[in-house]
Chains A and B, each alone.
Chain A
Amino acid sequence: MARKYGLLALAVVILSIYLFPVYWMYITALKTGTEIFANPPTFWPRDPQVQIVEVWTRLRMDVYLRNSLLIAGGVTLIVALLGTGCAYVLARIRNRWMDGVLFGVLMMQVLPSSLMITPIFVAFNQMGLLEYPRLSVVLAQAAKVMPLYIVLVRATFLQVPRELEEAALVDGNSRIGAFTSIIVPLARNGILVTSVLIFLQSFGEYVYSRSLISERALQPATVGLQSFMGPNSSDWAGVMTYSAIYVTPILIVFVLLQRQIVSGLTSGALK
């Protein structure tokens, strides 16, 4: 028994060391401008200050976060609408063609954004899409994350028993009817968790937004944060408060859905 609690204590220590940067972000966000540069640094703020409102208005976080939400929402919508059906078919039918499609999807999953952005920028520019910079980012990012969505949701569909679907067809449902009223509801959890994952990833998207959106009022929170972190910036309290406001909702969603996210990820990456 003592051994178990010893191990637990050790585990907490390892985790604390690992998560120290996150702790440091929150602590710095609570410090005053002078305390930040105190030597030795304080590991607990002497005079905690909540600067959320001040940073929120000074750094125009409402604009940036709204853009991030719009982009992430658009991406998730496109991906869920187009990807779910594809994931389902890839889970149900195995033949040479579908194997080929699956292989292609897996290949497209690995294309790095930073390398794809050059042709995307030029092509979007020629098509006139850059007139709508946020839409451009949504379209590009949806293509980036759709393969991951398909792979993860396909793993969920694999677990839905084929018999249920066959029973529905025997009962006179059409394929579309069976798909929308039986299969998708049964795979609901997997679809939701994967959509959350896609949303969170797109909420923190940077490369496409940085390269495709030049107008400040349309940029998302990552690009905004980057622009405040110039080489000579010393407003670390501001930057860390900004970061804390930005990631706290992400971390809350993550802790709530931790178990589902972990199992969803592992089933998709290895199958």
Chain B
Amino acid sequence: MHLAQLNIAHLRAPIDGPELATFVELLEPINALADAAPGFVWRLQESEDDPTATVVHDYGDHLLVNFSVWESIDAVWTFVYRSAHLGVLRRRREWFLRIAEPYTVMWWVPEGHIPTLAEAMRRLERLRAHGPGPEAFTFQEPYDSSEAANLPAAAEARK
């Protein structure tokens, strides 16, 4: 199984404005770092040619979306917190407003399966409504892939 991860951020100002310029500058190097990170599988890209193009979506222009697939929780954790990406995270308040509810969600997907952004947003809603579970979880309360894989069987058994 592979791990899908969505995180959203609430932009302080339009992405093409001067307030976000220092952030947009970092997109290319940090995305390159992700693409080369051990265990990286895939990420949603708006454009193959323009590394500064952020994902266009229907959930509001103020939301910045990062959506990727990794081989394991460790792989994505190590990229997020043990690479130069951590320095970008530290500066998040320069560019993003604080979101009081969960803004990142993970779940297991079969290898080779690329989930849609709509599914990712549903998973985030699920996490916000019901808290972490095998179908939508966080770094702080992770579930392993066997727990997710066993879900349908477990549901059958309870019937």
Please indicate whether A and B come from the same complex rather than being unrelated chains: no
A residues adjacent to B (C-beta < 8 A) = none
B residues adjacent to A (C-beta < 8 A) = none
